[in-house]
Amino acid sequence: MNRRLVGVIALAVALGAVGCTAETPTQPRSADPIIPGTPSPTLNFGAAGVQPVGAGTVVASGLDLPWSMVRLKSGSTLISERDTALVKELEQDGSLRTVGKVPNVHPAGEGGLLGLAVQPSDESWLYAYTSTASDNRVVRMKIDGAAGSYSLGELQVIFSGIKRGEIHNGGRIKFGPDGMLYVTAGETGDHPLAQSLGTKAGKIFRLQPDGSVPSDNPFAGSPVFSWGHRNPQGIAWDASGMMWASEFGQDTWDELNIIRAGKNYGWPDVEGIAHKPGFVDPVHQWTTAEASPSGLLWLDNTLFMAALRGERLWVIHPDGEKVTVKDFYVGTYGRMRDVIPGPNNTIWVATSNTGRAPRPGDDKILQFSLAPVA
């Protein structure tokens, strides 16, 4: 990505999506809540956390710009390909097949078929963040069939009108421990939009599973959960229910943030740690050459962060709101886009080299074993 590229200014979009009122939010209704939730799954290796050991094992190859992965209880994994708009199924035996093509996707620049999610309590729906010719939106489709023969049902649009652009589309969606769907949106290169609460750009949204606005959101009648974001592409919750997000900076600092309801994270007024009143500083920052952070995973007292330009996996161990960080596999596998739990005390990482500088067999899903931190 050229971080200096100015995004093309698109048509302004209204706040008329499912469950959203036209009223522009002003002040949050609650000062600084963290949405409580149940603890995340843990490997129980110990409080010190874990880290990867050894080389990665290829569990799938020949993928075309995989963007997101979702493991199902059946053992299969669903994978989105950004530019083909295909959902692929990786079966337990390593077979790779096409589940279906998501309709109305318009791949261009950094847009296309991006994040995938399923509700932990109900895997009957596949949720997806998609770019159309006019906007970004969240859709859902029934997951029909069984492992090895999954197909996609009719598409339902549940949240639309998110600004889209050639760059900075955000695109990560995940269900939080509170059962709500969280959606990240970039500012598409139109920087001031991140500081406007009346736009669907440069925000993290919080939605009911049907796309409507929860009654306890920080701004009455608004899907906005936090604002002042440039291009957040990773979200995760720790065992206490606290939300973390990884975010692309521009030319100086990439960020790891703790996300609190109704708070402003500063872009474009600040980048990185600025100690400026009214804005939340990141917990940690990296130079843009070290990171370009994307997918984020919490597992066993550890955050794992996939890095694109940085071509590495960042392993982060929080101690309250302070963190220690260490990088692994620098340059070994190229650009890393997403990271999820794998089977048997492992993690899976998706590379994102096709379209940039592909390597033999790219793109791949890699499996890394985990061990306790000494």
List, as one string, the DSSP characters of 240-264: TS-EEEEE--SSSEEEEEEE-TT-B
pTM score of the predicted model: 0.90
Identify which has the larger pLDDT, 159 or 36.
Answer: 159
Tokens 């955000």 belong to: 170
Q: Specify the 3-state DSSP secondary structure of 101.
A: strand
Residue 10 pLDDT > 70, yes or no? no
pLDDT band at residue 335, thresholds of 50, 70 and 90? very high
Mean pLDDT of 228-233: 98
Q: Which has the closest alpha carbon to 129: 186, 72, 189? A: 186
The two structure tokens encoding residue 316: 């982060």
User: Tell me, what DSSP letter sits at residue 108?
Assistant: B
Domains observed in the chain: 50-372 (2.120.10.30)
Residue 34 pLDDT > 60, yes or no? no
Q: How far apart are CA 317 and CA 354, in angstroms?
A: 31
The two structure tokens encoding residue 192: 């001031």
Residue 159 pLDDT > 80, yes or no? yes
The DSSP bridge pattern shows strands 243-247 and 232-237 to be antiparallel
Say how many C-beta atoms besides its own lie within 10 A of residue 351's C-beta: 28
Q: Specify the 3-state DSSP secondary structure of 285.
A: strand
Q: How far apart are CA 81 and CA 90, in angstroms?
A: 13
Q: What percent of the chain has pLDDT over 90?
A: 86
Residue 282 — φ and ψ, nearest 5°? -65, 155
Which CA distances in Å does 41 have to 75, 163, 241, 310? Answer: 16, 34, 12, 28
pLDDT of residue 374: 82
Neighbouring residues of 320: CB distance < 8 A, sequence distance ≥ 6: none
Mean pLDDT of 60-85: 98
Q: Which has the closest alpha carbon to 247: 272, 264, 224, 225? A: 272
pLDDT band at residue 27, thresholds of 50, 70 and 90? low
The two structure tokens encoding residue 90: 């990786």
Q: How far apart are CA 372 and CA 374, in angstroms?
A: 6
The two structure tokens encoding residue 132: 């159309």
Residue 278 pLDDT > 90, yes or no? yes
pLDDT of residue 26: 55
pLDDT of residue 20: 36
Residue 190 pLDDT > 80, yes or no? yes
Mean pLDDT of 165-171: 98
pLDDT of residue 263: 98
The DSSP bridge pattern shows strands 50-60 and 365-372 to be antiparallel
Residue 92 pLDDT > 70, yes or no? yes
Q: How far apart are CA 170 and CA 43, in angstroms?
A: 30
pLDDT of residue 1: 45
Q: Specify the 3-state DSSP secondary structure of 236.
A: strand
Residue 30 pLDDT > 90, yes or no? no
Residue 347 — φ and ψ, nearest 5°? -125, 155
Residue 39 pLDDT > 60, yes or no? no
pLDDT of residue 255: 98
Mean pLDDT of 325-353: 98
Mean pLDDT of 34-60: 70
* Residues 10/165, Cβ–Cβ less than 8 Å: yes
Residue 235 pLDDT > 80, yes or no? yes
pLDDT of residue 46: 61
pLDDT of residue 28: 61
Q: Which has the closest alpha carbon to 66: 250, 370, 334, 374? A: 334
Say how many C-beta atoms besides its own lie within 10 A of residue 26's C-beta: 10
| 282-334 confidence digits (pLDDT tens) | 999 999 999 999 999 999 999 999 999 999 999 999 998 899 999 999 999 99
* Residues 316/331, Cβ–Cβ less than 8 Å: no
Q: How far apart are CA 303 and CA 192, in angstroms?
A: 30
Identify which has the larger pLDDT, 191 or 41.
Answer: 191
Residue 194 pLDDT > 80, yes or no? yes
Query: What is the pLDDT of the chain when averaged over all its residues?
Result: 90
pLDDT of residue 17: 36
Q: Which has the closest alpha carbon to 268: 295, 243, 294, 231? A: 231
